[in-house]
Amino acid sequence: MTARPIAVVGASAAGLAAAEALRRFGWRGPLTLIGDEPHLPYDRPPLSKQLLHGAWEPEKLLLRTADQLDPLDLDLRLGTRATGLDVATRTLTLDGGEQLACAGVIIATGVTARSLPGAQGIAGVHTLRTLDDALTLRGLLAGGGRRLVIVGNGVLGCEAAAVARQLGHEVTLVGIAEIPMAEAVGAEVGALLAEEHRAHGVQLRTGAVDRFETVPADPAGTGDGQVTAVRLADGGAPGSGGVAAGGGSRLPADLVLLAIGSRPAVEWLSDPALDTTDGLRCDAYCAAAPGIYAAGDVARWDHPHHGRPLRFEHRMNATEQGMAAARNLLAELAAEAPAAAGGDATPAQERRPFAPVPYFWSDQYDLKIQAYGLTAGADRIETTVLDRAQRRAVALYGRDGSAVGVLAAGLPPRRLRALRAVVATPLAWDEAREQVRAALASGQDTP
């Protein structure tokens, strides 16, 4: 009897890490990797930086070439979308109607970009999530100076704003929050970022989008509209018409980038055995159900050290969680039915909880921001500005009396790594605070 495959849904960084780990940890049976894009697995962080700028070509983003994938002996299904999963039988449905009965499934479908009502079909309004998105936007930014309005002043919006300014475009960065990236890094670090963007000529605006102004995209007036401006809802709720029913501030635009966040790609998972509230809910082992695991941006799992479910959209977490999900799935398969698996499930070890120290970074102009642990959702932040002109700072983040995150802006990676131990496991706030102060006093803040 032919052994059932393990299927990894999502040809992403997390999905590729899971597939490679399955082979490394001893899975010798069929292995299927399913990706809805036509491209080989590629790295996403450079999309809003090196690729958008034009410094890198798409080939440099590939995580593995076709030749490098050959030893994995994959049943590689690119340009294929999973449309359903029966949890009880571990059977996937693919967009061509194929039913794929599996020994186990790892879900690594990531997230999709959010849009705004009324944006669909308007020429010049873009999102940035995929390689094709980035190449399209890069082509439009390759010419002379354009007026670019970026809606959303989080990480993606700030990175894209920096690239567009470096390319000579006029950039307006709009956010609901007044301070860029404040939700992720706090008000003081966010204020430093705002100063850096203003110093490079970015206009910062606060407000919600009320609507897009357009003109006909062709002389006959028959095509989709071409964006000409973004109207903010000053003095009124979005969609209300804004001030005096005439709309609020008008931001002229040749191009608009919507960088307003993402949503986990779980809409295809309708089996009631799965909890898809803010991602695919998993236990501490990354298991969503028996034989069903998740990894990467889509997974919301019980972090053993923080005592609550977390979901990270961080590149390093994708790789680490892909490997953890693979290891734990193989251990489960070998424990539940080693004979039935035909000897294909070889546990590398017992299942282990997944307890990473999250790492996050962002490059904007010449400024590098790096953080370990949890920075979002902090109820206490202490920021030490080391050099305001150079935007050099260290911040400590706390929650419920413990230090849970640390961030450095403008410092070499080795300096931040020295602070990693402070948040590797949550420490009492005062103890962590003293450790950070001691590190700074010892001169570790200097380049």
- How does pLDDT run across 237-293, given as a tens digit for each residue? 444 433 334 457 999 999 999 999 999 999 999 999 999 999 999 999 999 999 999
DSSP notation for 6-74 = EEEE--SHHHHHHHHHHHHTT--S-EEEEESSSSPPB-SGGGGTHHHHTSS-GGGGBSS-HHHHGGG--
CATH number of 366-441: 3.30.390.30
% of the chain at pLDDT higher than 70: 91
How far is 267 from 276, CA to CA, in rounded Å?
A: 8
At position 194, the amino acid (one-letter code) is A
pTM attached to this predicted model: 0.92
User: Pairing between strand 402-409 and 427-428?
Assistant: antiparallel
Rounded to 5 degrees, what angle do the CA atoms 75, 81, 87 make? 85
How far is 262 from 109, CA to CA, in rounded Å?
A: 13
Residue identified by tokens 């944006």 is 119
The pLDDT, as a whole number, for residue 306 is 87
Query: What architecture is the 115-258 domain classified under in CATH?
Result: 3-Layer(bba) Sandwich (3.50)
Residue 145 confidence class, pLDDT cut points 50, 70, 90: confident
Residues 358, 374 contacting (CB under 8 angstroms): yes
pLDDT digits (tens, 9 = 90+) for 194-237: 999 999 999 999 999 999 999 987 766 655 699 999 999 965 44
At position 204, the amino acid (one-letter code) is L
Domain 6-112+262-336 has CATH 3.30.1360.30: no
Residue intervals of the chain classified under CATH 3.30.390.30 are: 366-441
User: Pairing between strand 31-35 and 6-9?
Assistant: parallel
Residue intervals of the chain classified under CATH 3.50.50.60 are: 6-112+262-336, 115-258
